[in-house]
Amino acid sequence: MKLVAYDGSGQEIPGAEVDPAVLEVEVPITNPFKQVPIQLKLIGQLPSGLSVENLTPSAEQATIYGPQTELDKIDFIEADLNLSEVTKSGKVDITLNKSDAITEVSPAAITVDVQVVLTQTRTIQGLPITIKGLGNGLKMQIMNPASGQADITFKGAPAVLDKLQPGDVSVEADLSGRGPGTYTIPLNVNSPRFVDQSGGNTSIEVEIANIGTESTPTPGVPTTDEAASGGVIEPDGGEPTGTEAEGTGGTVGSPTSSPSPTPTPSSSLSSSPSPTDGA
């Protein structure tokens, strides 16, 4: 950089000599950066008979560099962990996924301590079934299972299954778009990470009818109110509001008789080893 002399009014002084006449200046330039959490993306499956007990990454956050407009769009950064390549407990090195818009990631890779054990199973009985999407002006009755509740068998690591509680699991059936008639509805079972369904109820049989339509009770099958007492009814356009099995324009109508208290899931839990089950 050439140096020039100026007077008090900011005008260059002709013929003025400056010593030294040239300076070398180093100006550091730093890209915008942002710290974001690292999310492990699990791909593939463990070999049959093994389940994940715990995953511990060497870092939980990463610093990403790039244009500020791109940084503002990113809330986390992923790292792929391929479970199909894991055959025993140990440490696995994986690279963080960097998009083209990001110029740098620090750290660029992390180490994950993977703990795997033999798979076991556990059954939780009497789980309530949440009914979603029951149309306005319709009522429903769970025909099978007769209890109106679900018995689900889960698989996973023994230490993980030991901590599993009924409140950690949700069981849902979606009746959206269905009018009067009898249907077999698949169940959607949501469970914690590293816990999967391996058996038990996978669907329910329901009968849908117009409100006000009389139906002949089937011996051994709960009535509309009795069936509803085993779960939660969520009609179209409304939030879950209790145990009524009717959809009435986005709100649930009052039952004709007092509903039975919502049953508590059975405390009778079974656990058995299953070396052949997959994770």
pLDDT band at 13 (very low <50, low <70, confident <90, very high): confident
Q: What is the pLDDT, as a whole number, of residue 150? A: 97
Domains of the chain: 33-118 (2.170.120.40), 120-273 (2.170.120.30)
Residue 161 sits at φ, ψ, to 5 deg, of -65, -35
Instruction: State both tokens at 113.
Output: 């301590």
Instruction: State both tokens at 13.
Output: 């002084």
Q: Kind of pairing, strands 188-190 and 109-118?
A: unpaired
Q: Please give the share of the chain, as a percent, with pLDDT higher than 90.
A: 63
The predicted model gives 14-20 an average pLDDT of: 74
pLDDT tens-digit map of 257-279? 333 333 444 433 444 444 434 33
Whole-structure pTM value: 0.66
pLDDT tens-digit map of 240-254? 333 335 553 332 233
Q: What is the pLDDT, as a whole number, of residue 216? A: 52
Q: What is the pLDDT, as a whole number, of residue 158? A: 97
Closest CA to 174 of 162, 190, 187: 187
Q: Measuring CA to CA, how many Å separate 64 from each of 55, 59, 72, 73, 94?
A: 23, 14, 11, 12, 17
- What's the 3-state SS for the chain? CECCCECCCCCECCCCCCCCCECCCCCCCCCCEEEEEEEEEEECCCCCCEEEEEEEECCCEEEEECCHHHHCCCCCEEEEEEHHHCCCCEEEEEEECCCCCCCEEECCEEEEEEEEEECEEEEEEEEEEEEEEECCCEEEEEEECCCCEEEEEEEECHHHHHCCCHHHCEEEEECCCCCCEEEEEECEEECCCCCEEEEECCEEEEEEEECCCCCCCCCCCCCHHHHHCCEEEEECCCCCCCCCCEEECCECCCCCCCCCCCCCCCCCCEEEECCCCCC
Query: Residues 181-187: contacts with CB within 8 Å, 24+ apart?
Result: 181/207, 181/208, 182/143, 182/206, 182/207, 182/208, 183/208, 187/129, 187/150
Q: What is the pLDDT, as a whole number, of residue 279? A: 37
Least confident span in 18-22, 101-105, 129-133, 137-141? 18-22
pLDDT tens-digit map of 71-119? 999 999 999 999 999 999 999 999 999 999 899 999 999 999 999 999 9
Q: What is the overall mean pLDDT for the chain?
A: 80
The predicted model gives 225-248 an average pLDDT of: 43
* Rounded distance between C-alpha atoms, residue 214 and residue 203, angstroms: 25
Using the predicted structure, report yes or no on whether residue 162 has a pLDDT greater than 70.
Answer: yes
- The answer for residues whose C-beta is within 8 angstroms of residue 27's C-beta and 6 or more apart is none
